[in-house]
Amino acid sequence: SHKLCMIPGPIEFHEDVLQAMATPATSHVSPTFIPALGESIELLRQILFTSGQPFIIAGSGTLGWDMTACNLIEAGENVLVCNSGYFGDRFGECLETYGANVTHVRVPIGDAPQLEAVSAALQGKKFKAITITHVDTSTGVLADIKSIAEIVRKESPETLIVVDGVCSVGSEEIRMDAWGIDVVITASQKALGAPPGLCVLGVSERAIGIFKARKTPVANYYANWNRWLPIMNAYEARKPSYFATPAVQNVFALHVSLKQIVAQGVEKRFVLHKEASAKVKKVVHDLGLKLVPTGLDHAANGMSAVYYPEGVAGTDLLPKLAAHGIVAAGGLHTEIASKYFRIGHMGISVTEPQRGHIDATLNALKSSLAECGYKVPQ
Ligand code: PMP
């Protein structure tokens, strides 16, 4: 039978989302598909709190890095990467692929980006863009993007503010326009509640303007916004259009999920994710386990990264969890990979508590730890 996929993405999705995938072959310019993509673009504006331009493109979150890097950065330009783990390293690599001159502001494992360090880096150089991993999925660290954006807007107003929201959109508060964020990158398979397969972006009007004013050509064919802007505009105007075939069934699925998110209320979902996270973290703490994030004030609300207790190995715990019907994830941050595990608590597992996903996961964790011979400290 189906084990619950409680990893930090792909996450469990709704039966109606599953049904939307099981549709017969449909033309990407058909009257059933055009409004599904068109309305998804509109719904994303509500979810990201932006008046800017959403993009929904076949691919994954990684394509969002490419799209940001190839369209907004010209070779030789400086980019500041707020690095709180594995995904900061990877985003930096992607930026360098397009000739960016990348400076990393790093933190010890489990810490969040420090405002003073960002501020100091901004004094040293002029940066075309700053990137912030909102939730680094390798550490479960939540960055304070609102405060970082405030500093950048004040100290270096021309610097574009790019948020990797792959593991945060839909579970953490993000207000693009109000906080002055230029790009939010995400993907379909996490808190947006759909299967993997789509790259999702929100881009501010300012960033689109800077893109249009670039001096050198975009060194990428598929990811070039010049090709996708007319397509997104056409679908939003409910007109057929073609550059590269959209992932029809994935878009149907995303559309169903986005409608559910907006119907429930984006703000309500921020609260529900906070509550579910607090519950998970309290149980983890009461079990005597330690989180990878060094403080609860910068721990993500859609996932938890937890060190194995002394005497328990991941090679034992994860299969035991699976035997209890729960799929959790191992470590990802190379320096500590074998020392911790990760649980996702996003989407319907959180917004529909009657499903019992979180309780089932926590109960399985308790049983599995006991089966590993672990005794809860008194
Ligand atoms: N950024 C973050 C923070 C992520 O968690 C991930 C995926 N786990 C990515 C980027 C890359 O996304 P994808 O795997 O969908 O390409």
Average of per-residue pLDDT across 357-364 = 98
Every domain range in the chain assigned CATH 3.90.1150.10: 4-9+266-371
Higher pLDDT, 218 or 376: 218
Tell me the percentage of the chain whose pLDDT exceeds 70: 100
Specify the residue with its C-alpha closest to ligand 1, atom 2.
166
For ligand 1, pick from 90, 167, 186 the residue to mutate: most ligand atoms within 8 Å of CB: 167
Q: Where are the beta strands (DSSP E) in the chain?
A: 4-5, 53-58, 78-83, 101-106, 129-133, 135-136, 141-142, 160-164, 183-187, 198-203, 303-307, 326-327, 329-330, 340-344
Ligand 1 center to 332 CA (angstroms): 12
Among 110, 130, 111, smallest CA distance to 122 is for 130
* Token representation of residue 231: 């397509």
- Please, what is the end-to-end C-alpha distance for the chain in angstroms? 36
Atom of ligand 1 nearest to the CA of 137: 5
Read off the pLDDT band of 314 (50, 70, 90): confident
**Cα–Cα distance for residue pair 321/329, rounded to 1 Å:** 10
Specify which residues 83 forms β-bridges with: 106
Atom of ligand 1 nearest to the CA of 133: 3
pLDDT on residue 343: 98
Higher pLDDT, 155 or 378: 155
**Cα–Cα distance for residue pair 272/350, rounded to 1 Å:** 7
Average of per-residue pLDDT across 31-50 = 98
Angle formed at CA 110 by CA 105 and CA 114, multiple of 5 degrees = 40
Specify the residue with its C-alpha closest to ligand 1, atom 13.
61
Alpha-carbon distance values, 188 to 30, 145, 250, 279 (Å): 22, 21, 9, 25
Specify the residue with its C-alpha closest to ligand 1, atom 6.
166
Q: Where are the beta strands (DSSP E) in 166-267?
A: 183-187, 198-203
pLDDT tens-digit readout, 348-360: 999 999 999 999 9
Ligand 1 center to 344 CA (angstroms): 14
Specify the residue with its C-alpha closest to ligand 1, atom 8.
137
Q: How many CA atoms lie within 13 A of 371 on its CB side?
A: 17
Which phi and psi (to 5°) does residue 298 adopt?
-130, 35
Contact 349, 12 (CB under 8 A): yes
Ligand 1 center to 239 CA (angstroms): 31
Whether the per-residue pLDDT at 47 is higher than 80: the answer is yes
Whether the per-residue pLDDT at 377 is higher than 90: the answer is no
Handedness of CA 347, 351, 354, 359 (dihedral sign): positive
pLDDT on residue 97: 98
For ligand 1, pick from 87, 91, 135, 184 the residue to mutate: most ligand atoms within 8 Å of CB: 87
Specify the residue with its C-alpha closest to ligand 1, atom 9.
61
* Token representation of residue 160: 């574009």
CATH code of the domain occupying 17-263? 3.40.640.10
Angle formed at CA 80 by CA 76 and CA 84, multiple of 5 degrees = 140
Average of per-residue pLDDT across 39-56 = 98
**Cα–Cα distance for residue pair 174/168, rounded to 1 Å:** 8
For ligand 1, pick from 56, 166, 192 the residue to mutate: most ligand atoms within 8 Å of CB: 166
> For the residues of 290-306, what is the DSSP string, one character each?
-BSSSSGGGB-SSEEEE
3-state DSSP call for residue 328? coil
Atom of ligand 1 nearest to the CA of 65: 10
Which residues have C-beta atoms less than 6 Å from ligand 1?
Answer: 9, 60-62, 87, 133, 136-137, 164, 166-167, 187
**Cα–Cα distance for residue pair 254/227, rounded to 1 Å:** 22
Fold of 4-9+266-371: Aspartate Aminotransferase, domain 1 (3.90.1150)
pLDDT on residue 376: 86
Ligand 1 center to 354 CA (angstroms): 28
pLDDT tens-digit readout, 168-220: 999 999 999 999 999 999 999 999 999 999 999 999 999 999 999 999 999 99
Every domain range in the chain assigned CATH 3.40.640.10: 17-263
Alpha-carbon distance values, 51 to 84, 132, 159 (Å): 29, 21, 19
Specify the residue with its C-alpha closest to ligand 1, atom 4.
166
pLDDT tens-digit readout, 230-275: 999 999 999 999 999 999 999 999 999 999 999 999 999 999 999 9
Q: How many CA atoms lie within 13 A of 107 on its CB side?
A: 27
pLDDT on residue 18: 97
Contact 109, 336 (CB under 8 A): yes
Whether the per-residue pLDDT at 1 is higher than 90: the answer is no
pLDDT on residue 187: 98
Which phi and psi (to 5°) does residue 320 adopt?
-65, -40
Specify the residue with its C-alpha closest to ligand 1, atom 1.
166
pLDDT on residue 332: 95
pLDDT tens-digit readout, 60-85: 999 999 999 999 999 999 999 999 99
Ligand 1 center to 225 CA (angstroms): 21
Higher pLDDT, 334 or 183: 183
